[in-house]
Amino acid sequence: MDKIKQVLRGVARDWWIAALDIIAVNAAYFLALLIRFYVNFEFRPTVTFYLTDFATFAPFYTVLCLIVFAAFHLYGGMWKYAGLNDLNRIIAASVVTTAMQVLGTVLFVGRMPVTYYFIGALIQFVLIASIRFGYRFLLIEKKKLENRRKTGAATMVIGAGEAGRFMIRNLEESTSYRPVCVVDVKKASYGRMMNGIPVWGGTDDVERALDVYGVKCIFLAEPLMQPEIREKIARLCQERRIELQDLGYSFYMNADEQQAPEEPLKPAAKADGKRAIPFSPPDISESEISEVVEALRSGWITTGPRTKLLERRLAAFIETGRVDIEAGDEYSNRVVCLNSATAAEELNLRVLGVGPGDEVIVPALTYSASASAAIHCGATVIFVDVQKDGDPLTRVPEMDYDALEAAITPRTKAVVAVDYGGIVCDYERIFDIVERRKALFTPVESDGSPLKDLGSRIQKALGRVAVISDCAHGLGASRVFRGEKKYTGAIADMTSFSFHAVKNFTTAEGGASTWLPIPGVDNAEIYKMFQLLSLHGQNKDALAKTKLGAWEYDIIGPWYKCNMTDIMAAIGLRQLDRYPGLLERRVEMMKKYDAVCAELGVSHLVHHVAGMDSSNHLYITRVPGITAGQRNEIIEKMAQRGVATNVHYKPLPMMTAYGRDCSAYPNASDYYHNLITLPLHTLLSDEDVDYVCQAFREVVKEYI
């Protein structure tokens, strides 16, 4: 009944769409008759009975269409955000209504020509899709017209690839820049349009385009541009007094999970004397490059000996905090390297036996992967608000632990704690909560399959809700846990790490899972299940099959493909050698940021307190007294000074995929509205950090 009421409310809210649908479904099949039988401005007299059949069935068909469209959620949608999922629903609804048209006419009024059904169905689909996507198209065109009328500086974008497309979208949101032309370095797109902006071909055309459009600013969005061309453009800008924003990677680096540059990027001075500070490029040295070359020369580039060595070394680092010890076989079967942290999070849940009907508790303020992994497993995500203004000591937006305890039900199977910014959660309190609520916990029963059997045994051994650490930011962080210093990966029941390009420690892409020993379950069995899940359920990886006569294998389950390659592991092995020094360097930079925040009265994360040392991943500030709009203005003004900043994160309940309603999580919403993350990476020089501090000081003083 509630479902029917919801559908009716959707139809009532979109009454005008329903009215257009009534016109569309009737017009579609009437047009089909016209196309099929209308000759010399009249219907052929021998087939006029088809008009009678059409008119007889049309009222019934109209009602059926409205019911089907409502069932496929074509009413009550947010059509200004219409996308692929909406199109799929329109296609499905069109198939169903076409079948109804065929069956209805054949059974009740008489069969119509096949072409009538085909043409009518095609026209109806086009009209129904146009009604819904037309609104979005009109909004886009309106925005383009508004952008063309902007008074911002005429801006040229050099680079017609994905980086250029991303940059144009950002510029069109700006009030200071107005994109007027694009230059394709490779000349392949000359004469075309990119988002309504003309594309010129080749850097030889730059000077002519400058004159044609009166360009006042150039944005470089071509990551692989040859140095001599880059220098030529810089000289040209200097001669003509044109602002140059050399931010080839900074917009890519302006999101936590965006694509990373494919070659080392060093912050550089711009033609006007400003600096270009990207948000978070990877720190890749010759050591990593040499190890990758050796991996390529070895002939072993997929999962192999380097991946296994990295797993053992990570296990040793997680246990001891040291990278200079021998990682022998005693560290085997304790860490599994994968192709992403998202894969690690999902496999953690699957190994734990989490599935449909279960609930997983996730903080409202986190990155999407914390929640999407549970959804991939078929579980329901239960969001919990964060503490008001964050933890009293670290100011990190940890979960409201009272709300966490209240959220645990008999369906709860796991709690995902997020080590946000590299600051370690209060796991003692989380474990105390799940222990207190263990009477509500009912472990899943095995269905006889290897995966469900393992999950059932793990849940029975734990006897409580599992504690999972989303430690994407936190490799190398530590906390005193039950009287003993523990490194992340050795605290929660299961932990996932991210080695994405924007992280402190990178393998380009990549991640890892690790777990605590579970009574009655061998680590080797858990490790083997991770291997099966990450390699199609195949019970031998490529390395195992190299042994003489060991070609034969079995497929245990229809599972996934998310293993780490030896090329990625090669980067990680040398990154791990350097990692303690990289962490120390981040501390040095944070001290300068701390000083300017203290001067301005700006709140920031505190990465080191008694009993807890962070991995220093993100430097997150909260400017007091500003609105979300003012926060965005500050970010834009920092970008104008060449400094790329970020926001971590927009609460998940605000996102379309999670309901776009954050009213139940006021603390997360309030924490987010004035967040600004400053660049913090080990390619920054002391002068770069000083420049960021001065830019932040100048901009923020306008708002406090």
Read off the pTM: 0.66
**pLDDT for the residue numbered 34:** 82
Query: Which of 211-220, 365-374, 584-593 bottoms out in mean pLDDT, i.e. has the lowest?
Result: 211-220
| Reported confidence tier of residue 46, pLDDT bands at 50, 70, 90 | low
**Residues 361/407, Cβ–Cβ less than 8 Å:** yes
- The pLDDT assigned to 154 comes to 87
Q: Is the pLDDT of residue 184 over 90?
A: no
What phi and psi, each to the nearest 5 degrees, are found at residue 461?
A: -65, -40
Q: How confident is the model at residue 11 (pLDDT cuts 50, 70, 90)?
A: low
The per-residue DSSP string of 277-301 comes to B-S------HHHHHHHHHHHHHT--
pLDDT tens digits, one per residue of 84-115: 778 888 999 999 999 999 999 888 887 788 88
Mean pLDDT of the chain: 88
Residue 429: what pLDDT?
97
For 542, other C-beta atoms within 10 Å of its C-beta total 14
CA–CA dist 164, 22 (Å, integer): 43
First to last CA, the chain: 53
> Cα separation of 476 and 491, whole Å?
12
pLDDT confidence of residue 258: 40
Q: Does the pLDDT of residue 257 top 60, yes or no? A: no
Residue recorded with tokens 């680079």 = 159
- The CA distance from 538 to 554, in Å, is 6
So what's the pLDDT on residue 673?
A: 95
**Which of 66-70, 268-272, 380-384 is predicted with the least confidence, judged by mean pLDDT?**
268-272
- pLDDT for position 295: 93
pLDDT of 262:
38
Question: What is the pLDDT averaged over residues 483-491?
Answer: 97
Whether the per-residue pLDDT at 256 is higher than 80: the answer is: no
Please provide the DSSP assignment of 99-168 as one string: HHHHHHIIIII-PPPHHHHHHHHHHHHHHHHHHHHHHHHHHHHHHHHHHHT--SEEEEEE--SHHHHHHH
Give CA–CA dist 100/61, Å, rounded.
8
pLDDT band at 260 (very low <50, low <70, confident <90, very high): very low
Average pLDDT over residues 306-318: 96
Cα 175 to Cα 637: distance, rounded to the nearest angstrom: 10
Could you read off the pLDDT of 353-363 as tens digits, one per residue? Answer: 999 999 999 99
Q: Give 116's pLDDT tier (boundaries 50, 70, 90).
A: confident
Question: Judging by beta carbons within 10 Å of its beta carbon (0-12, 13-18, 19+), is residue 180 exposed, middle or buried?
Answer: buried
Give the range among 35-44, 493-502, 592-601 with minimum mean pLDDT: 35-44
| pLDDT at 108 (0 to 100) | 86
**Alpha helices for 495-565 (secondary structure H):** 523-534
Tokens of 206: 């730059």
Task: Output the pLDDT for position 252.
Answer: 40
pLDDT of residue 44: 57
Tally the C-alpha atoms within 13 A of residue 630's C-alpha that lie toward its C-beta.
Answer: 13
Residue 6 banded pLDDT, cuts 50, 70, 90: low
E strand or H helix at 380: strand 380-384
User: If you average pLDDT over residues 383-394, what whole number do you get?
Assistant: 97
- pLDDT reading at 251 higher than 50: no
- Give the model confidence (pLDDT) of 503-561 as tens digits: 999 999 999 999 999 999 999 999 999 999 999 999 876 555 555 556 678 999 999 99
CA distance 668 to 300: 46
Residue/partner pairs of 70-73 with CB below 8 Å, 24 or more apart? 70/7, 70/8, 70/10, 70/11, 71/7, 72/96, 73/10
pLDDT at 15 over 90: no
Q: Residue 269 pLDDT more than 70?
A: no
Percent of the chain with pLDDT over 70: 87
| Res 461 pLDDT > 70 | yes
Virtual CA dihedral for 451, 456, 462, 464, nearest 10 degrees? 120
Query: Residue 553: its pLDDT value, please?
Result: 83
pLDDT over 80 at 143, yes or no? no
Sorting pLDDT into bands at 50, 70 and 90, what band is 173?
low
Region of poorest pLDDT, from 129-143, 206-220, 560-574? 129-143
Q: Which residue has the tokens 């605000």?
A: 654
Domains, the chain, ranges and CATH? 2-145 (no CATH), 150-248 (3.40.50.720), 581-700 (3.90.1150.10)
Residue 54 has pLDDT above 90, yes or no: no
Q: Binning pLDDT at 50, 70 and 90, where does residue 497 land?
A: very high
State the pLDDT at residue 627. 94
Q: Residue 253 has what pLDDT? A: 40
The whole-number average pLDDT for the span 127-144 is 76
Q: Containing H/E element for 61? A: helix 49-71
